[in-house]
Amino acid sequence: DHDNRKPWKGTPQAPDRLYFEADEITEEVAHFVATKFHYHPGQIDTSRLPATRADAVTLWQRAKRECMEHFGTYEDAMSTKAPALFHTLISSVMNLGRISPHQVIEDVLEMPIPMNSKEGFIRQVLGWREFIRHVHQQTDGLRELPQSVQPANRSADGTVNHLSADEPLPPVFWGEAPSGLACLDQVVNEVVETGYTHHINRLMVLANWATLLGVSPRELTDWFWSMFTDAYDWVVEPNVLGMGTFATGPLMSTKPYISGSAYMKRMSDYCGDCQFKAGKDCPMTSLYWSFLNRNAPELKSSIRMLMPLASARRRKDDQKAHDEQTLKHVRERLRAGKRVTVTPKVIEERQHGFA
């Protein structure tokens, strides 16, 4: 993991976008979708959508040639300048059966590439993709969980909801109302335009914001299912309910994947143009502390959460009050489809210099 966490600063050069030529069937399907479902979110651009077996082979050859060497090193990086970075974009065609997981693993095993890329990629496909499928199959789509790993709560419709999160999904996710949070707006735009964003954007931007806000895991899952070209129940549900929101509790991970803004600042270039200052007055950090204090009873059984929970507990009363006010402000603005604004308290702090 240590070798797979480098931020990307513009070099080595990331692969160019790949365009596809649509055949007659693809054009017909695109026309059908554009006509019948024109009121759905997103856009349809066949030049960006690999569809045939030949497209899948072209995409995979390009991945081997241009992505694989640096795949591992920049796996967790995020950038506005090269949104897909060294990710392969093969999930849609692999989930469609146009190319098999077995073939991509065999190919990568033979490639003379650095070990962090080889291991990192095989772990994604064999370790994660196949594990996710296994979880879905073994639990009847998360309906039947082993007694030892039951979530503490479920929603009224039966969806796992360990942390009892029930905030409605805000309109920003549908691309309808920019939030003023540069990272979230950037990634939502990518999804609306292409039906894709890479793994860390899904986990540490989209799911992170939703989890910190306390968004209903069911609503978030349905959103992922609607918006991504690689979405199928078997892969969306464990990823969003298990990995993204911790709604399954400890079934798939020992702790929630959440972060404050220091992580975003380190791993992305999103914060540079944002109205907020990462690590100083960014609301993500306040929401992180608020999340920990709010959910402490459900999280304290995880040994990996003991340190973060202790740090959250030790925050001074005025800091805790500020965290709660920030959560309230962000929720209210996003619910109403309005931009989150810099609060008067933050303006005052900026004028007097940060503590």
Ligand X SMILES: Cc1cc2nc3c(=O)[nH]c(=O)nc-3n(C[C@H](O)[C@H](O)[C@H](O)COP(=O)(O)OP(=O)(O)OC[C@H]3O[C@@H](n4cnc5c(N)ncnc54)[C@H](O)[C@@H]3O)c2cc1C
Q: What are the residues binding ligand X (CB under 6 A)?
A: 87-91, 94-95, 124-125, 128-129, 132, 198-199, 202-203, 207, 224, 228, 230-231, 235-236, 239-240, 243-244
Using the structure block, give the residue that is written with the tokens 């070209």: 229
- Nearest distance in Å: CB 97, ligand X: 12
Using alpha carbons, select from 186, 3, 204, 173 the residue that is nearest to residue 80.
186
Stretch that binds ligand SF4, among 33-41, 154-162, 193-201, 274-282 (CB under 6 A): 274-282
Angle 98-78-213 from CA coordinates, rounded to 5°: 100
Report the C-alpha gap between 132 and 291 in whole angstroms. Answer: 26
Residue pair 242/52 in contact (Cβ under 8 Å)? The answer is: no
Stretch that binds ligand SF4, among 9-17, 99-107, 176-184, 223-231 (CB under 6 A): 176-184
User: In this structure, what DSSP letter does residue 275 have?
Assistant: S
278 makes contact with ligand SF4 (CB under 6 A): yes
Using the structure block, give the residue that is written with the tokens 């950090």: 285
- Nearest distance in Å: CB 267, ligand SF4: 10
Query: Residue 258: which of ligand SF4, ligand X, none does it interact with, CB under 5 to 8 A by kind?
Result: none
**CA dihedral of 24, 27, 28, 34, whole degrees rounded to 10:** 180
Smaller CB separation from ligand X, 60 or 270: 60
Smaller CB separation from ligand X, 90 or 264: 90
- Nearest distance in Å: CB 101, ligand X: 7
Q: What is the largest CA-CA distance in the chain?
A: 64
Using alpha carbons, select from 92, 103, 15 the residue that is nearest to residue 55.
92
Q: Select the residue interacting with ligand SF4 from 161, 216, 239, 261 (CB under 6 A).
A: 261
Query: Residue 235: which of ligand X, ligand SF4, none does it interact with, CB under 5 to 8 A by kind?
Result: ligand X
274 makes contact with ligand SF4 (CB under 6 A): yes
Stretch that binds ligand SF4, among 25-33, 71-79, 273-281, 289-297 (CB under 6 A): 273-281
Query: Residue 282: which of ligand SF4, ligand X, none does it interact with, CB under 5 to 8 A by kind?
Result: ligand SF4
Q: How far is CA 81 from CA 238, 259, 264, in A?
A: 30, 23, 15
- Nearest distance in Å: CB 280, ligand SF4: 9
Q: How far is CA 274 from CA 180, 323, 325, in A?
A: 8, 20, 21
181 makes contact with ligand SF4 (CB under 6 A): yes
Report the C-alpha gap between 202 and 283 in whole angstroms. Answer: 19
Report the C-alpha gap between 96 and 18 in whole angstroms. Answer: 19
Stretch that binds ligand SF4, among 72-80, 156-164, 278-286, 310-318 (CB under 6 A): 278-286
Smaller CB separation from ligand X, 201 or 295: 201
Report the C-alpha gap between 101 and 126 in whole angstroms. Answer: 8
Smaller CB separation from ligand SF4, 163 or 274: 274
The residue ranges that bind ligand SF4 (CB under 6 A) are: 181-183, 261, 264, 270-271, 274, 276, 278, 282, 284
